[in-house]
Amino acid sequence: MKVNAGGVAESAAEVRDGSLAWGSMAAQALEAHGTWERGAVPLNAFIAVDANADRQRGPRDGPLAGIPVAVKDNLATADFPTTCGSRILEKFRSPYEATAVRRLRGAGAVIVGKTNMDEFGMGSSTENSAFGPTRNPWRAERVPGGSSGGSAAAVAAGIVPVAVGSDTGGSVRQPASFCGVVGIKPTYGRVSRYGLVAFASSLDQVGALGRNVRDTATLLEVLSGHDPRDATSANRPVPPLAPACERGVRGLVVGVPREYFPAGLDPVVRRLAEHALGALEGAGAELREVSLPHTRYAIPAYYIIAPAEASSNLARYDGVRFGHRCREADTTERLYELSRSEGFGTEVKRRILLGTYALSAGYYDAYYGRAQEARAAVAGDFERTFGDGVDVLFTPTAPTPAFKLGERVHDPYQMYLSDVFTVTANLAGVPAMSVPIGLAEGLPVGGQLMAAHWREDTLLTAAAALEAELGTVGSPPVPSGAEAA
């Protein structure tokens, strides 16, 4: 399949010079999507697909000319519903488009569909979707990770070469790790959040997923840049990212934080991570053991701050102006109560309650206040480490490979722990990415790279080197018996 052949930049160049027809890659994406949906266990990577995506029009001269892209369903689009994986927004259609989506269209991308996700981004397995879970393309009984599980699965399944996700505590990197693809969460402020439906505003960041490091870099460059509609978007130049992928790691100082290699770490994950470190060293990088001592406060701080912000961000879903409205309510109070009870899923309700509690008078200082202190301490760890000459940190992305569907869904704490290595970058606002570093019994495992603010280029340099040294993990087999259907 052409879609799976050359890189995104090369394919776009072929569309620009006319050697590749505009809609041909989108048509292949639709075909691949159909194949996966007709498999024994449908992939369910998409909440909505444009069956006529190959006929979408767009500028031919952009860096993503004719490239089919999947977009997470929490980015506002005018031509698809924007559900956030929630019943409460099931029929919601945004009258405006997210800045990230407009940038995609401006670059010539063809948006083939909106991908499945944990409701409002709350989850690590895409099981918390009102529209059914997404499957891991590598093995159907496994989760694809989350919350951007649909985007990661769509890339891993070869439906699209690149996809847009969002990352609040690891929601791009952890599914990238579980699905064997590349995923990057840029520096907070690098990509506009305008039109990204808020989960936790101080942590949310739009991210890019791709089959390989270069494709991911190409997408990230399109998404990045200042947006006057987002007061937290940084007004600073975006350096060209392609050259960073070619730079090589000779002389690069790679920090290995001991807190990310705990005693209980899955032995296969540890072995693959150590192998990846060896590869970096072999390529000329200098390894240095470092300590980020406040890492253990990250999960507790994150699970106060994110729910607190969410409890406020999700107040607007009240049944008054848009979204699900309970028709039986006879008073305003009942309207709120019933619309929200019916519209939100269990995990969302749990976090709204947690966050509401954490912000309550009398508890604010003990919870929210303390969590902000912990956040500052975590950020201080990174600042000190990068200030001491470390260029990039390497850690496992997640403590385990993809777990089974249903395995953690009733144990929120276990579920939360799958973000233990990823939430720190969100708390500190630094860029981080996940690259495949091998297979553990047929399931992909990712390694995480983290760099100082605005140094996405350093991440890409290290990621490209790892990719070159380790090779790719390949693609999962297309479902058998479905191709003929």
Partner 1 sequence: MKDSPLEAVIGLEVHVQLDTGRKLFCADSTAFGAPSNTAVCPVCLGLPGALPVLDPGAVDLALRAALALDCTIHPVSVFARKNYFYPDLPKGYQISQFERPLATRGAVELDGGRRVRIRRVHMEEDAGKSLHDRFASATAVDLNRTGTPLIEVVSEPDLRSPREARSYLQLLKRLMEYLEISDCNMEEGSLRVDANVSLRKRGSERLEASTEVKNLNSFSAVEKALGVEIRRQTRIRAEGRAVTRQTLLWDAAGGDVRVMRDKEDSQDYRYFPDPDLPPLVLSAARVASLRAGLGELPRAKRERFRRQYELPAYDADVLTSSRGLADYYEAVVACGGQPKTVSNWVMGPVLETVKRGIADLSSPGLAPGRLAELLVLVDKGTLSATAAKTVLAGMARTGDPPGAIVQREGLRQVREDQVLDRWVTDAVAAHPEAVARYRAGETRLFGFLMGQVMRASGRKADPRRVSQLLRAALDADAD
Binding positions for partner 1, rule: CB under 8 A: 74-76, 82, 84, 89, 92, 94-96, 98, 193-198, 200-202, 228-232, 308-309, 311-312, 314-316, 318, 320-322, 332, 336, 356, 359-361, 364, 368
Q: Is 248 exposed, middle or buried (0-12, 13-18, 19+ CB in 10 A)?
A: middle
Residue whose CB is less far from partner 1, 216 or 233: 233
Q: How far is CA 85 from CA 54, 170, 183, 216, in A?
A: 25, 17, 20, 24
Residue whose CB is less far from partner 1, 138 or 454: 454
Structure tokens at 228: 């006057």
Query: Is the distance from CB of 81 to CB of 89 less than 8 angstroms?
Result: yes
d(CA 60, CA 62): 6
Catalytic residue among 129, 151, 166, 171: 171
Residue whose CB is less far from partner 1, 54 or 97: 97
Q: Is beta strand 432-440 parallel, antiparallel or unpaired with respect to 182-185?
A: antiparallel
Residue whose CB is less far from partner 1, 126 or 339: 339
Q: Beta-carbon neighbour count of residue 10 at 10 Å?
A: 13
Residue whose CB is less far from partner 1, 231 or 484: 231
Catalytic residue among 72, 94, 177, 185: 72
- Residue 332 C-beta: closest distance to partner 1, Å: 6
The helices-and-strands tally (H runs, E runs) of the chain is: 14, 11
Structure tokens at 87: 């019943």
Strand order in the sheet with 110-115: 46-49, 110-115, 68-72, 162-167, 205-210, 182-185, 432-440, 443-451, 392-396, 253-257, 286-290
Amino acid (one-letter) located at 307? P
Query: Is 91 an active-site residue?
Result: no
d(CA 180, CA 168): 20
Query: Is 171 an active-site residue?
Result: yes
- Residue 457 C-beta: closest distance to partner 1, Å: 25
- Residue 232 C-beta: closest distance to partner 1, Å: 6
| Torsion angles phi and psi, residue 338, rounded to 5 | -75, -40
Catalytic residue among 147, 177, 339, 434: 147
- Residue 80 C-beta: closest distance to partner 1, Å: 13
- Residue 352 C-beta: closest distance to partner 1, Å: 11
Which sequence positions are flagged as catalytic?
72, 147, 171
